[in-house]
Structure 1
C-alpha cells in the first residue's frame, strides 16, 4: 500500500477519534439552568449562586456551564414557554430561587432535577409533596417567613407614634405568604391601619412612591418578596428623603440604609443551595434529600443620626441583635 493510500485510509479513523474526543469533552461538562427575571445583570441571584458554587465546589464548577432563563411573569412574556425553550438544551439541573419559580419548574421541567429556595411552604404551595422524601426530583431550602405581623409590631414599638403603614409586596407573596398571615389583620390587632400595594417590578414600586398620598404613611413595611430584591435600594432612598421609618426582611439592607430589619438568618441559603446542587449533580436523587429549614431570626436597626429619624425606643434597641450607629 502506498503512503498516500495508507494515509487516506487512516483519515476516517482520525476523524472518528476527534469526534469521540469532542463528545467526551461535552459529556464531561454539565449544564445548570437558573430561572430569573429579565437578565443575569439585573437579577442578582444568578451571580450569587455561581459565587457560592465556586466557593463550595470549586473543581466541579470548572466543569459547569451556567445558563439563565427569563421567567418573569409580565405582559407579552410567557414564562412557561421561555422555560420550555431553555429546557431544549437539556440541562442537568434547574435552579429556582423562589417559590413561584419552583412551582413553574415542577409543571414544566419534565423530570429535570430541581433545587429551589422558597419563602413559602413548599408543600402548602403545591410544588413538593413532603419535606422529607419525594418521588419527584426536587429539593431545596424553605425559609419559613410569616413575619410581617411581627415586623409591624417591632416598627410600632420602635416608633410608637406610627398609626398608618404602607406595605409593598408582589403578587406571589400576597398569594402564598401573606394569605396565611394577612398584614392588615395584624395591623388591626396592634391598633394600626395598613394598606398593601401589590407591585412586581422596581418601576411599579417607583410609581407607588411617586403618588402624593404615599407620603402620608407614618412608616413602611417591605416583606422579603422577590420584588424587594429588585426595588429595595430605591425604596430606602425615597423613605430616607421623607424621613419615614422602613422595616425590611433582609439584614443586609440595614447596612445599606434601611431603618430596621427583622428576618430569618439567610446567610446559609446560597451555600446550602450550592451544596444541594453538588449532591444532585453527583448523582443523588433530589427527592431523597430532605428540604432544609433555618430556625434563627435576626433583628437589626440603625440608631444613628444619619437616618434623619428620632432614635428608636430603648426597649427595641436592647432586643436587637445588630445595631448600626
Structure 2
C-alpha cells in the first residue's frame, strides 16, 4: 500500500485541517469536536443545512459547504459514521433561529447517530428536521442498511435543499423540497477495483483482473452481481436499466444526468460513460436538461463510477441553477 499519509490514525484530522487552510474564504473548521462550517455561520433567519458521514468520499461532504449548499459537514473516521457529539456541535453552530435540516444517507450508523444528535439538539431548544437519502437501486437491504443505500444522489439533495434554504424557505418547506428530490432521484454504481482504507492497509474486497462488481456501494459493499469486464457501453446499459425502470422514468421527462467518479477513474472515462447514458436517455424520449460529471461521491481511490438520474420540474431546475459557492461546486456568484 502506498498512500500520502503520516499516521493512519490522524488521516481525518490532518485532512480537515488542510481543507480548512486551503478554503479559509469559505469555511472554518473545528477539530474538537470535528466539523466543517461555512465562515458566516450561523446565518440569522436562515434554515441551517447539515450533512456528514464517514470520510473517504471527498469532496462529499466537506467540499460542499458554503453559500447555496451545506452550512456544515461532519466527517467521521474513514468509512465510519460520525458520533452524535460533533453532529450536535455542528447543528448548534449553524442554528440561526429558523431550525436545522439534517440530510442523512441511509446507513445504519449515520441514521442512529444523526437521530441521537437531533434529539439532543431538540432538548437544547434547536428545531431539527431530518431527511433520509436512499437513491441506490442496486440492493434493498444489506449489512449496512435497512432499505436502500444513500449514495451520489445525496449531492443533488444537498444542492437543491441548500438553494431552498438560501432563498428563505422555512424549515418545513426546505424539508419538503429535499424529500421531493429524494423521491425523484435514482443511482447505481460499478467498481473496477477495490480501495484501501488507510488504517486497514489492505483492499476492502478483491476483484480478479477481469472482474467488475455491478451495484457496488460507496464503502465497497457488495452489489447485485460480479461479472467479467465488459465494454463501457454495456456497463452503462446494465446500470441505467434498473435506474430508469424504478420510478419509472418515461418519455417526456426532463432530467439531470450525473456521472460520478469513485475516486480513481479518469475524466476521459467518465465522459465516455456520459455519452452512452445520454444516448440511452434520448432513445427513450427522456430529455437531459441539466448535467454534472466528475468526482463528487468517491470511495477513496476506487476505480469505478455511478450514474444518477433526477427527474426535474420547473422549481427543482430553478433551485439547481441557483448560485452556489463551495470548494467542489460553484456557479452564479
TM-score by length of 1: 0.34
Bigger CA radius of gyration: 1
Q: Whose strand fraction is larger, Structure 1's or Structure 2's?
A: 2
Q: Whose helix fraction is larger, Structure 1's or Structure 2's?
A: 1
